[in-house]
Amino acid sequence: MNFIKTDIDGVIIVEPRIFNDARGYFFESYNRDEFIKNGIPNEFVQDNQSKSSYGVIRGLHCQLGEHAQAKLVRVLQGTVLDVAVDIRPDSLTFGRHVAVELSAENQRQLFIPRGFLHGFSVLSDTAIFAYKCDNFYHPESEFGIRYDDPEIGIDWRIPSDKIITSDKDRIAKGLQDVPDYRK
């Protein structure tokens, strides 16, 4: 596996070594020892999966306090633009984001540490998105900000008239409302 650091400390792209032959392909998507050796010691406790159609934007979400989560995300079918926004209060990159195209074709994964909002947009007809979390989902600890917050300025690569999102994401708060994720 190749672990690629991004412009924001702690957010890491993981590229597997893919072995192709006449039968198809094989790759290792997770190896605890390799992840620890490359600065990702998190113990994952929950796997989630979603299916979405073109134009869907899910996010930007996180969990706060003792329920904060790190995530390892990947795409099983289709293509998404995956986004992590730094909300660590003392970070020099607070409010900045990393956007990475993940697809079933490139098999890339993105590690998002605690202290980040997360979201993705679906760029293909459909996408099946899977992710590991290092903490269990706790609905009362969920927090979100608007996917289109101008202070962050994410280009989701979806025309505005094609965006599909939830009511909850449409009325979420802005970056100025982000609390300390640790509390």
- Domain coordinates in residue numbering, the chain: 43-177
Q: What is the structure's pLDDT at 169?
A: 86
The predicted structure's pLDDT at residue 56? 98
With a pLDDT cut of 90, the percent of the chain lying above it is: 94
| Phi/psi of residue 27, nearest 5 degrees | -155, 155
What is the radius of gyration, based on Cα positions, of the chain? 16
Q: Which active-site residues does the annotation give? A: 61, 131
pLDDT tens for each residue of 52-93: 999 999 999 999 999 999 999 999 999 999 999 999 999 999
Q: Is the pLDDT of residue 15 over 90?
A: yes
Q: With bands split at pLDDT 50, 70 and 90, how would you rate the model's confidence at 170?
A: confident
**pLDDT reading at 110 higher than 90:** yes
Would you state the CATH architecture of domain 43-177? Answer: Sandwich (2.60)
Token pair 């609905």: residue: 139
Q: Could you identify the residue written with the tokens 């989630």?
A: 48
132 confidence band (pLDDT: 50, 70, 90): very high
pLDDT at 157 over 90: yes
pLDDT score of 59 = 92
Return the beta strands (E) in 78-123 as ranges.
Answer: 79-86, 97-103, 109-112, 116-122
- pLDDT of 58: 97
**Cα pseudo-dihedral 152, 155, 156, 162, rounded to 10:** 110
Average model confidence (pLDDT) across the chain: 96
Strand partners, 98: 84
Residue 135, token pair as written in the block: 């903490």
Least reliable range by pLDDT among 149-153, 155-159, 165-169? 165-169
The mean-pLDDT minimum among 7-11, 47-51, 55-59, 169-173 falls in 169-173
**pLDDT confidence of residue 93:** 97
Percentages of the chain per state (helix, strand, coil), in multiples of 5:
10, 40, 45
Q: What is the pTM of this model?
A: 0.95
As a whole number of angstroms, the distance between CA 161 and CA 52 comes to 17
Cβ pair 57, 147 in contact under 8 A:
yes
Whose structure tokens read 């909300």? 87
Q: How far apart are the first and last CA of the chain?
A: 34
What is the predicted pLDDT for the residue at 55? 98
How many angstroms separate the CA atoms of 161 and 11, rounded?
31
